[in-house]
Amino acid sequence: MRAMVIERYGENPMSLVEMPTPEIGENEVLAEIHAASINPIDFKIRDGKVKLLVKYQMPLILGNDFAGVIVQVGAKVTRFKVGDEIYARPRKSKIGTFAKYIAIHEDDIALKPKNLSFEEAASIPLVGLTTYQALTDILQLQKGQKILIQAGAGGVGTFAIQLAKLMGANVATTASEAGANLVKSLGADEIINYKIEKFEEILKNYDAVFDTLGGEILEKSFEVIKSGGKIVSVSGLPNARFGKEYGSGFFKTMLFFAASHKLTALEKKHNAQYTFLFMKPSGEQLRIITNFIETGKINPVIDRVFPFENAQKAMEYAESGRAKGKIILKIK
């Protein structure tokens, strides 16, 4: 099968090569991939930035979510059949959606929303699950609460604004002038133009922050939350609490403790709770998201669709930070 791979860690371009079609286990299906999306985790994996969390063998097929059709089912698969149109985020040990086929556990998949194309559906799994787990499982966002969603015009941000509004929250977000109309159309109540305004000086007494940027932006986010508030980040540093919950072992947990000492200090200073989110695949949660989509409560936002052969150009465009919404690879 055709696949986009990297041969080693680092900022190296992907290569289009022939790889063996994966074999499936008894609880897995083989899916023919019609479309996949590009996500920041793809750059992080490529650059070796998640080696402490997950180790991969080379050559490695990148790609972390997709939409496609089941062409084979394992002996113990009970919920799906050949011909089902599905979408999913595979578990971290089984990534590789920049390819013609993928073997994936049935627990990780859901039927594709009936009202979406394969390209539209491929834009959803990773950002949808990330946002759902951030807002419901960690932040436990309640109606009437105030949340700041960083980078509202990005792939995660466009989904997060819609879900937060669906949950009844008051939403502030950061965006450039070019992205302001988009985030407003998605329901953002307050828009901070990050190029000329400082969100940490404008927003106060927020219940929660959903950070997608990390670094100084994450640190400044502590300034906007009230005492007892919560911050969840997908781009910050893992802390010791994450290490223990993830089962990283003593040595790695101590590394996380040392690396995140500044965030721990900010937690104490602001009486806040900081959580690093390393999203988990879940077909069950995807089915909840499917209902939101099929009832018109949440809509995909796509910036551009690239042909599979131009996957490297798509990655470069994604890294430029100019995209509004998701970037899709059309594989079939």
Phi first, then psi, for residue 205 (nearest 5°) are 60, 45
State which amino acid sits at residue 188.
A
Per-chain mean pLDDT for the chain: 95
pLDDT digits (tens, 9 = 90+) for 76-124: 999 999 999 999 999 999 999 999 999 999 999 999 999 999 999 999 9
Q: What share of the chain is helix, strand, coil (3-state, %, to 5)?
A: 35, 25, 40
The predicted pLDDT at position 257 comes to 82
The predicted pLDDT at position 270 comes to 97
Transcribe 199-212 into DSSP letters.
HHHH--SEEEEEES
Residue range 297-311: mean pLDDT, rounded: 97
Q: Give every CB contact of residue 217 below 8 A, 6+ residues apart in sequence.
A: 150, 211
The predicted pLDDT at position 166 comes to 98
Copy the structure tokens of residue 332: 């079939």
Query: Which of 99, 32, 95 has the alpha carbon at shortest distance from 67?
Result: 32
Q: What percent of the chain has pLDDT over 70?
A: 100
pLDDT digits (tens, 9 = 90+) for 231-245: 999 999 888 888 888
Q: How confident is the model at residue 229 (pLDDT cuts 50, 70, 90)?
A: very high
Q: How confident is the model at residue 218 (pLDDT cuts 50, 70, 90)?
A: very high
Pairing of strands 60-61, 2-6: antiparallel
Q: How confident is the model at residue 11 (pLDDT cuts 50, 70, 90)?
A: confident
Copy the structure tokens of residue 69: 């059709």
Q: How confident is the model at residue 50 (pLDDT cuts 50, 70, 90)?
A: confident
Residue range 245-268: mean pLDDT, rounded: 87
The predicted pLDDT at position 279 comes to 93
Residue range 285-313: mean pLDDT, rounded: 97
The predicted pLDDT at position 256 comes to 83
* Distance linking the first and last C-alpha atoms of the chain: 12
The predicted pLDDT at position 322 comes to 84
In this predicted structure, the answer to whether residue 308 has a pLDDT above a threshold of 90 is yes
Residue range 66-70: mean pLDDT, rounded: 98
pLDDT digits (tens, 9 = 90+) for 155-193: 999 999 999 999 999 999 999 999 999 999 999 999 999
